[in-house]
Structure 1
């Protein structure tokens, strides 16, 4: 990982720059695949600790996810993490998917229960022969492949289906007890949600990293609709920053970079040293934010 010096007078200690990871989604078309690989080529020199590839509802993108993961392993030095859900599949089918990943060299899985087949807001019904919860899925992976690292999800504003925060943290505790090594949060825009959540988690004796999930708002209106369905609140001050920019993508991009960079810099100021970026398969804002965090491509600092 690259290093960055604090704004310095001579003699100040050089501090390690934050650790970062990126999330991509599998492309649906040849054009989208070309765009994804341009993004990967742009971001790979930042040396993320891993990159994750999402998995559609009910396994709808299963083969595309596998193909993307396989290509990352073959053509890059990046460490890929494959998303996997419990939705719509028997245990044997999911176990076979994990076996395929293990065979090609994947050693990191992001294990999720997944959204209900009927969409967010509808009841979740487990497959009769499937894993019932994300904790069950974590346990199933670790039982067969102890060498696979498992990341799970966390919800600074509480999962929409949890009755209260204690119940929500019970779920996280079950995932940790099953073998989860890291939790990546749902998107949030108010850092106080993250800090309060982290305090609750630590008070319960949960010590795994709680990595903040950061989403630069390339298209504010679309992003707001997406994240609010998943239980993320969008503060009025944030909406106001994008007011009047629906038809001005260039300015919208500048505002989005400024907002997200401000968020991660404030988190870093309070000791957060790891970030997971939901890239939406776009490199520009994530690259800029990483630059502001002091993260440079290998050789860039020497060249400067």
Structure 2
């Protein structure tokens, strides 16, 4: 595979998603993986946040580790289901105080068996409301900016302009599981934009035209911010089944058959890499503004996809400590 920029793909930004480790051994392996991913030069590395704050402390630990040990921007997932305004505000301040300036605002999934409108929703009923709250907390925490006046080191000028925060939201090329129509999905994305979101990341999909047609509809409706396609190399039949269970996507029959008939794990891994690489190249050819890769806390597979797209340089492909976390059991896919 090439390790220099491929003119057919160009030099577009990419990013990765990780999830908090669940053991000391997984933590050590994840730290090595973060070094490998950071060396590739991503735009950001996002870290998931378990439903109802189940991984709050460990999520923040990973985010601060990225801040301390790399120059990559960490992006924190936040969910709001079941939270009061006070609880959500406190959490946002905690992340801001730690140095995090990028967020993925998600409503989150309701508890199993719960119905829409029940008390589990808390004070914040949508991701758009969480976007507004993040901006509000940032404004209260940093109402103005000070800067040194040249020639007067003891003096400061004050402006109302504040340091900006990046707030991403979820998008669904094939529709949200609870959506009544594709029009509702676009309307929801417009509401998130009106609330102050400035980036979107899509749920998983398996065909480039699903994303590209969704982008056409979104742009025609007035959605202006970049919408990054989310890509996950599917390297086993079990992982594919779990992805479909979490996302509600239709079975990609060709990929499913190929994984089932391949007897070796290494062969299945190569099938997943080839499929994700082909998808990524189609998306780049269709003018996707970047790629967001779900890494499952392992660097080798996602870096192979980027390498197959010609997006890695010799420097980013250079050797580094090789380690990966144990196979993921269930990363938080709470996009809403």
* Aligned equivalent of 1:261: 277
State which of 42, 45, 49 in structure 1 corresponds to 2:43: 49
* Aligned equivalent of 2:98: 104
State which of 215, 229, 245 in structure 1 corresponds to 2:232: 215
1:27-42 matches, within 5 Å, as 27-42=21-36
Per the alignment, do residues 297 and 154 of structure 1 end up closer, same or farther by CA in structure 2, a change over 3 Å counting? same
In 2, are the aligned partners of 1:83 and 1:109 still within 8 Å (CA)? yes
* Aligned equivalent of 2:246: 229
The yes-or-no answer on 1:132 pairing with 2:125 is: yes
In 1, are the aligned partners of 2:41 and 2:316 still within 8 Å (CA)? no
Per the alignment, do residues 183 and 31 of structure 1 end up closer, same or farther by CA in structure 2, a change over 3 Å counting? same
* Aligned equivalent of 1:188: 205
Q: Deviations over 1:105-126 (max 9, x none)?
A: 111010000011227xx53445
CA distance in 1, matches of 2:284, 2:67: 30
CA distance in 1, matches of 2:91, 2:317: 41
**Higher deviation after alignment, 193-202 or 234-243:** 234-243
Q: Deviations over 1:84-125 (max 9, x none)?
A: 001222111111111011112111010000011227xx5344
Rg larger in structure: 2
Per the alignment, do residues 244 and 180 of structure 1 end up closer, same or farther by CA in structure 2, a change over 3 Å counting? same
Per the alignment, do residues 47 and 117 of structure 1 end up closer, same or farther by CA in structure 2, a change over 3 Å counting? same
Shift of 1:183: 0.7
Q: Which runs of 5+ in 2 are unaligned?
A: 140-163, 319-336
The yes-or-no answer on 1:166 pairing with 2:183 is: yes
Moved over 6 A (4+): none
CA distance in 1, matches of 2:6, 2:293: 23
Per the alignment, do residues 165 and 40 of structure 1 end up closer, same or farther by CA in structure 2, a change over 3 Å counting? same
Shift of 1:189: 0.1
* Aligned equivalent of 1:78: 72
Shift of 1:128: 6.2
